[in-house]
Chains A and B, each alone.
Chain A
Amino acid sequence: MERPTLAVFKLASCDGCQLTLLDCEDELLALAGRIEIAHFLEASSAVTSGPYDLALVEGSVTTPADAERVREIRAQSRFLVTIGACATAGGIQALRNFADVEEFTRTVYARPDYIDTLATSTPVAAHVAVDFELRGCPIDRGQLLEVITAFLAGRKPDVPNHSVCFACKRRGTVCVTVAHGTPCLGPVTHAGCGAICPAYGRGCYGCFGPSGSANLPALIPLLHRDGLDDRATERFLRTFNATAFAETASAGTAATQTAATRTGEET
Chain B
Amino acid sequence: MAGSTATAVLDRNGLDALVKELTAQGRTVVGPTVRDGAVVLAELASADRLPWGWGTRVEAGRYRLVPREDGAVFAHTAGPQSWKAFLHPQREQLWSADRGSDGSLSIVEERADPASYAFLGVRPCDLRAIAVQDRVLTGGRFQDSGYAARRTGAFLIAAECTEPGATCFCVSMGSGPAADTGFDLALTEVVDDAGHRFFARAGSTAGAEVLSGLPHRPPDPGTEAAAHDAVEAARDRMGRAMPPVSLRDLMGESLEASRWDDVAARCLTCGNCTMVCPTCFCTTTEDVTDLTGDHAERWQRWDSCFDLDFSHLHGGPVRATPRSRYRQWLTHKLSTWYEQFGSSGCVGCGRCITWCPVGIDITEEAAALHDELAARLRQEEENDEGGGDDRKEPER
Interface residues of A (CB under 8 A from B): 27, 30-31, 33-34, 145, 148-150, 152-153, 155, 158, 160-163, 165-166, 169-175, 177-181, 184, 186-188, 201, 211-215, 217-219, 221-222, 255-256, 259-260, 262-266
Contact = CB atoms under 8 A, between A and B. Distances in A.
B63 A170 contact: no
Contacts of B323: 259, 262, 265
B291 A145 contact: yes
Contacts of A259: 261, 264-265, 321-323
A219 B358 contact: yes
A173 to B, nearest CB: 8
Tell me the interface secondary structure of chain A in the complex: helix
A188 B268 contact: yes
B302 A160 contact: no
B272 A219 contact: no
Interface string B225-257: 000000000000000000000000000000110
Contacts of A221: 358
Nearest to B319: A266
B328 to A, nearest CB: 10
A115 B85 CA distance: 56
Interface stretch (B5-13, B34-42, B169-177): B34-42
A152 B271 CA distance: 32
A161 B40 CA distance: 27
Interface stretch (B102-110, B304-312, B339-347): B304-312
B396 A30 contact: no
> Which of the listed residues B261, B264, B270, B286 has the most CB atoms from chain A within 10 Å of its own CB?
B270
Nearest to A28: B291
20 contacts: A33-B291, A34-B291, A152-B293, A153-B289, A158-B286, A162-B309, A163-B269, A165-B270, A165-B271, A165-B272, A169-B302, A172-B81, A174-B37, A177-B61, A184-B357, A187-B268, A201-B36, A215-B267, A221-B358, A266-B319
Contacts of A217: 265
B217 interface: no
B318 interface: yes
A149 B38 contact: no
A218 B255 CA distance: 23
B133 interface: no
A149 B290 contact: yes
A67 B90 CA distance: 44
Nearest to B37: A179
A179 B321 contact: no
A33 B37 CA distance: 48
B308 A162 contact: yes
B261 A169 contact: no
B308 A212 contact: yes
Contacts of A163: 268-271
A166 B40 contact: no
A187 B324 contact: no
B275 interface: yes
Interface string B355-396: 111100000000000000000000000000000000000001
Given A172-B85, A178-B61, A259-B261, A187 B272 contact: yes
> Which of the listed residues B91, B255, B268 has the most CB atoms from chain A within 10 Å of its own CB?
B268
A264 B324 CA distance: 9
B220 interface: no
A163 B269 CA distance: 8
Contacts of A177: 61, 357
A77 B267 CA distance: 41
B265 to A, nearest CB: 5
A34 to B, nearest CB: 5
The 9 tightest CB contacts between A and B, nearest first, are A169-B275, A187-B270, A165-B270, A170-B90, A187-B268, A174-B36, A163-B270, A174-B38, A30-B291
Given A165-B275, A172-B40, A260 B291 contact: no
A161 B309 contact: yes
Given A170-B301, A219-B358, A149 B289 contact: yes
Contacts of A214: 268
B270 A170 contact: no
